[in-house]
Amino acid sequence: MSASDLGWEPIVQSWLLCRQDLGLALSAVSCIVGVVVLVFVLVLALALALALVLVLVLVLVLVLVVVAAVAVAVAVVDAIVVAGAGAVAVAVVVDC
């Protein structure tokens, strides 16, 4: 029997199965890959959490700006109403 009878795969497979040190190396590589994937997932989750916090802060700032704008608008309208009422009061006093 020669290598050309069965092809090269059975010979390589049997050689790999006999090598104990390769089995350990493959399990170490798979462990390292697992750790790398876990770290990647954790970093991705942290980035998504930070993005969510950033969006919430931006929404809060937008709400505060709108509230401040409404407060300024109300103050301006009140000032106009008070000034108008004062002008009416002055006109009434002058007419008397």
Per-residue pLDDT tens digits for 17-28: 776 666 556 667
**Does the reported pTM lie above 0.95?**
no
Average pLDDT, the chain: 79
Instruction: Please name the helix (run of DSSP H) or strand (run of DSSP E) that holds residue 19, with its range, or none.
Output: none
Q: Name 11's Cβ contacts closer than 8 Å, sequence gap at least 6.
A: 3
Residue-wise pLDDT tens digits, 1-42: 555 566 667 777 777 677 666 655 666 777 888 899 999 999
Domain boundaries of the chain, sorted by first residue: 3-95
**pLDDT value at 56 more than 90:** yes
Residue-wise pLDDT tens digits, 60-91: 999 999 999 999 999 888 888 877 665 555 55
